[in-house]
Amino acid sequence: MTKLPLYQQTVANLYQDLQTNDQGLNATEVQSRLDKYGQNALTQQKKPSLLQRFIGQFKDLMIIVLLVAALFAGLTGEVVDAVIILLVVVLNAIFGVFQEAKAEEAIDALKEMAAPNATVRRDGQIHTVKSDELVPGDIVLLEAGDVVPADLRLVEVAGLKVEESALTGESVPVEKTNATLSGQDLGIGDRTNLAYMNSNVTYGRATGVVVATGMQTEVGRIAGMLESADETTTPLQANLVQLGKALTVLILIIAAVVFGLGLWRGTANVVDMLLTAISLAVAAIPEGLPAIVTVTLALGTQRMAKRHALVRKLPAVETLGSTDIIASDKTGTLTQNKMTVEQIYQNGKLVPAGDNPVRQDDPLARVMLLSNDTQQLTDGLAGDPTETALVQYQLDRDYPVAQTLKDYPREAEIPFDSERKLMTTVHPLADGQFMIAVKGAPDELLKRVTQVDNAGEVTAMTADQRQAILTTNHDLATKAIRVLAFAYRIVPSVPTTLSSETTEQDLIFAGLVGMIDPERPEVAQAVAEAKGAGIRPVMITGDHRDTAAAIAQRLGIITKDETAHAVLTGAELDDLDDATFQKQVDQYAVYARVAPEHKVRIVNAWQKRGKVVAMTGDGANDAPALKAADIGIGMGITGTEVAKGASDMVLADDNFATIVVAVEEGRKVFANIQKAIQYLLSANLGEVLTLFMMTMLGWQILAPVHILWINLVTDTLPAIALGVEPLEKNLMAQRPRGRQSNFFSGGVFSGILYQGLLEGLLTLGVYWVAITYPVHANADLAHADALTMAFVTLGLIQLFHAFNSKSIHGSLFTIGIWKNRFFNWAIVIAFVLLGMTILVPGLNGLFHVTALTGLQWGIVIVAAALMVVIVEIVKFCQRRVVK
């Protein structure tokens, strides 16, 4: 026989299964169960040490290629180049470790959330014990302000409300019961006879029996999901791995071909050709790329931090730029996670709360304050969020809250309970009579109403008035607005027996108040901007279907016509297998009444469709999905430490709109890295082709020292400067790149090929002109001039080409030549370093170059400038074809 879920079991059956009773366990049994089940705490995997993290940074293929290149450079005497490569690699590793030092704090944060102590009944006596000493079968006592110390099946309940938003995502505290539930496959938020570890008691009191501790609790399940979740490889990391593999194969092939051809032609001995092949291999490797990527990402994190987006893992910056889906938790992310009075129905009219005048003698305003358990503290209000919203509404309108409470003290009360759904208080009036103030569910309260207060005039309630109230209540409820009804009654004395029959009868209707957890004011615009950028917002919440749909409509995530088919509940999701859901996932934009595992399924389904998914959230229930997503985004203010610890990025202002800003920054980072890659690889290809053709033609154009110096000068500062180029126009109007794109997409690969070929041809052309039309009659001097001109041409071409690379397709003259000051200085410094080899005595001898005449400088500069002219013509033609 299948064992029933906990919420379907009676208390008697649970007592029998757990071998306990309402007097609790004895000390011997507690120790025995503690030995059997272990402490009521969350386990944690061992974290890698700092050294292990550092070593892990060197597992990247691109880094391994660079280390091999450094080894070869050192063995062939190119010590400076070897040192530079090693320095770049080590700095990259240090920065990576620093940025990811706090990447695994989620489980620690869950442990910090746990209640330090618990009140229990053991052997019939009340004790306060450490919460980690609780065992299944313990009897726990709860009251307002407590943190639930373990998963409990509630045995006795007195008006208990528990705030579970960090676990379920539902913004309103849940009214609890001790009744046995009969529903099938109820979600966490609907299991109202259970209280879960780390949730907060906001109202009432209760007694419960511990049914799960430690890793067996709902929070423990989340912790287990976090530990078992795989780290997602970001698109940037995948692209760099692909690039590293492609370059490794290409470099080995080219070096082997050049070495073989050189020996075949007999133009050099084995040692010289080996040096040439190695220098060519080093020239082909963009050794500055890891530094450029790291610096570009680091600068991106700084800019994002200034705009309230705190990045915890460097690759997350770029991942945002490729995001297709933003799956967002509702409560606290899209909404403010605080109940707010939005609509008032009074005197037969429904008006926005802000337009409703509050009079001091207004019976509705008075009942809102009197039938209320909110406590006013020095630093704000404390109590049930629904009740505090009523008081805050009055405070915001300068209503004399404190004086009213003083003038009308509470003489008696009938507390709220989930059966009659009403709360009643009794207060003395100045004339010696008493006011009975009642609030509660509209349908229940109206059963007890016989009169209506209309602007101070009390008359018998008509059938039309009653129907109007019920219609208004229904209309507000369909818009996700929570409605409370308020009524009062004046009596000569406090009823002798306080009961619903003696007190909550013949009431005078005062009005309805509609409350909602309002959406953040900036979110609707952010949703529209995300859609404009081709990004699909998806809302995920623990709230009911109608509430979720209404909020989604208000935010523009779905339209009213889409509500019927675009909203899916957790129970409906359970009925779909993974394959079916993956096929249908693009039909749904809103998920209601979901559990933590549902969120992970949603993220995984989109990822299997090839989409890059960003997941936002603030609760512990969001943590597994945050970790599973391509980029997890936690809330910095309202977010739990669990959510922050599982995130790649944290929003310091909890502003959903900041995500759109971060997406913009991410797209800019990718675009700039792509520019740097196109520049580096086309320049390196130009060097490789020059050396290759030189070997094929039997020319001695460039020595290894020339290639390595050009690499040093042009592969560093100019390439890094491209990483800080300003945002190009219309970047946010483009569709997301998606998971299948890479650094060679969008015409970059073809650009690298033709631009590299162009560089090589221009360099070889200058050498041919110089050797064919020499300035000096002496053959050695003529060869030295030709070599010098080829060397300077190749270097200058790359510096001129850096300007081309400021945009993949845009014209240099429309995006702005001088906007990037860092870039301008980088070109100046690189030009000076290149010119020093020609003009500084001693250096020219080291590089085997000679001083050039004015005509020779003119030829070199014209050839270098042709690089800009020809690329501009090609870009112009490309733009015309695209149009």
- pLDDT of 295 over the 90 cut: no
Range with top average pLDDT, 79-88, 524-533, 610-619: 524-533
More confident residue, 70 or 531: 531
The ranges of the chain annotated as CATH 3.40.1110.10 are: 345-514
Nearest to 470 by CA among 421, 509, 424: 509
- Which one is catalytic: 81, 146, 329, 648? 329
The ranges of the chain annotated as CATH 2.70.150.10 are: 6-37+108-228
Do the beta carbons of residue 149 and residue 114 sit within 8 Å?
yes
Residue 647 to residue 693: CA distance in whole angstroms: 51
pLDDT tens profile 738-754: 776 777 777 888 888 89
Range with top average pLDDT, 90-99, 194-203, 371-380, 800-809: 800-809
Q: Which residues of 773-787 are buried (b: 16+ CB within 10 A; e: fewer)?
A: eeeeeeeeebbbbbb
pLDDT tens profile 297-314: 777 777 888 888 888 776
CB atoms within 10 A of CB 801: 24
pLDDT confidence of residue 19: 92
Residue by residue, what is the 3-state secondary structure of 149-208?
CCEEEEEEEEEEEEECHHHHCCCCCEECCCCCCCCCCCCHHHCCCEECCCCEEEEEEEEE
Q: pLDDT band for position 438 (50/70/90)?
A: very high
For the domain made up of 6-37+108-228, give the CATH fold.
2.70.150
329 an active-site residue? yes
pLDDT confidence of residue 103: 36
Domain 319-336+520-660 in CATH 3.50.50.60: no
The ranges of the chain annotated as CATH 3.40.50.1000 are: 319-336+520-660
Over residues 152-165, the mean pLDDT reads: 86
Lowest-confidence range among 48-52, 410-414, 580-584? 48-52
Q: Which CATH class is domain 238-307+665-726+742-882?
A: mainly alpha
pLDDT confidence of residue 879: 82
- pLDDT of 112 over the 50 cut: no
Dihedral sign computed on CA atoms, order 236, 237, 243, 244: positive
CATH of domain 345-514: 3.40.1110.10
Residue 79 to residue 84: CA distance in whole angstroms: 9
Lowest-confidence range among 35-44, 53-62, 493-502, 539-548? 53-62
pLDDT confidence of residue 539: 92
Residue with tokens 């007097």: 23
pLDDT tens profile 674-688: 898 889 888 888 888
Residue 485 to residue 481: CA distance in whole angstroms: 13
Q: pLDDT band for position 582 (50/70/90)?
A: very high
The ranges of the chain annotated as CATH 1.20.1110.10 are: 238-307+665-726+742-882
pLDDT tens profile 852-874: 888 999 999 999 999 999 999 99
Q: Where are the alpha helices (DSSP H) in 41-160?
A: 50-56, 61-75, 79-99, 106-113
Over residues 370-388, the mean pLDDT reads: 85
pLDDT tens profile 44-102: 556 666 677 777 767 665 566 667 767 766 766 667 666 756 766 676 566 556 545 44
Residue 636 to residue 658: CA distance in whole angstroms: 12
pLDDT tens profile 173-193: 888 888 888 877 787 778 889
Residue with tokens 């997602």: 232
